Amino acid sequence: MPHKNQHIVLIGAGNLATQLGLALYEQGYSIVQVYSRTIAAAQTLASQIKATATDNLAQLMPTANLYIYAIKDDALPEVINKVTIDYGIHVHTSGSVPMAVFEKKRTNFGVFYPLQTFKKEKRVDFQQIPIFLEASNKQTFDNLNDITKTISENVHNSTSEDRQTLHLSAVFACNFTNHFYAIAGEVLKSTNLPFAVLLPLIREGVNKLETLTPKEAQTGPAVRNDQNIINNHLKLLKAYPEWQEIYQQITKNIQNYHNTKNE
CB closer to its own copies out of 63 and 128: 128
Q: How far is the CB of 226 from its own copies (least distance, A)?
A: 6
Between 48 and 154, name the residue whose CB sits nearer to its own copies. Answer: 154
Cα angle vertex 193, ends 117, 215, to 5°? Answer: 50
* CA dist., res. 241 & res. 246, Å (int): 9
Rg of the Cα trace of the chain? 22
Nearer to its own copies among residue 63 and residue 253 (C-beta): 253
Does residue 211 sit in helix, strand or coil?
coil
DSSP state, residue 137: S
Closer CB to its own copies, residue 40 or residue 174?
174
Nearer to its own copies, 40 or 171 (CB): 171
Q: Whole-number minimum distance, CB 151 to its own copies, in Å?
A: 14
What CA–CA distance (Å, rounded) separates 120 from 12? 12
Sequence-distant (≥ 6) Cβ neighbours of residue 234 within 8 angstroms: 244, 247, 248
Nearest residue (CB) to its own copies, 5 versus 210:
210
Give the residue among 151, 164, 169, 170 at the shortest CA–CA distance from 101.
Answer: 164
CB of 32 to its own copies, least distance (A): 28
Q: Which helix (H) or strand (E) holds 77?
A: helix 76-82
Residue 141 · residue 135 · CB < 8 Å:
yes
In the complex, what is the shortest distance from the CB of residue 43 to its own copies, in angstroms, rounded to a whole number?
Answer: 23
Q: Quote the least distance from Cβ 176 to its own copies, whole Å.
A: 5
Measured CA to CA, the distance from residue 22 to residue 70 in angstroms comes to 13
Q: 104 — phi, psi (to 5°)?
A: 65, 5
Closest distance of CB 193 from its own copies, Å: 6
* Smaller CB separation from its own copies, 41 or 237: 237
Strand partners, 35: 11, 54
Residue 160 Cβ vs its own copies, minimum distance, rounded to whole Å: 11
